[in-house]
Structure 1
């Protein structure tokens, strides 16, 4: 079983993830879909990310304590919200859609562009890009200025994202486009046809890689970085004298 975790609280976005992933062919493992109901409705900026990361860890702990823990996890937010923390909590592979999409882009081109939602997401994704060692392969991270929730609700959102992507690719010699939000995955084939270049959706990529990693028997290393958390005794509650 592969658990796809939506770090935000959106029911409609979780349903969209399920439609897209269940349409993938050639998978060998069952997919389950989970949202973090107590998290923000969308993740835009540092404080949303910190809040959502707590609930991602909570969800992984819940699933790990169940009768049949997942064989792999996919964190379905392009910020890779709570990714490193989740990897500490399980031996199963945990894949972030941002990391997987950008790594895969390097197999298809020399320079890729990332198209995200709001400008406030650019510094977060830039930091991730450097953390993953991929800065030299990225032509730039650009904002469409379309909020996450508007991707579903605004009928003009596709054209706005497409126009911003085309301009960014042309001005920066981008050879492939990475969609910098899970909510953009609904457009991957349409945008690929309109731009005539590879367009990468991290959700489909991460789920496919997770399926392959389970088949290969790969696990998260528990040496150093992703050791299980230390067990700590609870602090006694102070008493008033």
Structure 2
């Protein structure tokens, strides 16, 4: 089923572990609702399903969320039980029938993909090579469709991965961000779009500095930068 409101959807997602803030979840919800009557949404990186539940709750009609995640055994982001938890969270929210799971690496799935997409959400592996490859999924997003990138401007790998969008022939226009969740639109960027992206670089540098301070256990100094949390900015 689709939820009638964001609040109803997030009530199911709020207790699912993950790194998506309520404001970012609202952006996902609004983007999914604005993606058409029966949208095809592709999510790269699902973890335990926090964002998946929000997206799947928002789609209407015969809309579907295609969740791509290999569920690797990783010390921080995965375990042999992560897929089981993901599927249980979808069932608990009543959205499992709206989600098609592809348990594989996005970089392996993309070369075989052919279907058009109305919305793309990227929150997969954060190294530069993978991010750049994941952005190649933009080729399947309809003109004017949104591409949302999580941890943009808070991760070295993700930010370096999106910087080529400043160059000629880039397929995405940068619009805005909610925290580190960046909003792009499929289309040819203007000079103003590129300038808007460049203006985020000081905020990115600030976030990297905060990460260093947190690892040095200098929370007091991080607080001077406006970050009063033991967790990384995202």
Higher Cα Rg: structure 1 or 2? Answer: 1
Q: TM-score normalised to the size of structure 2?
A: 0.32
Greater relative CO (CA pairs within 8 A, separation 6+): 1
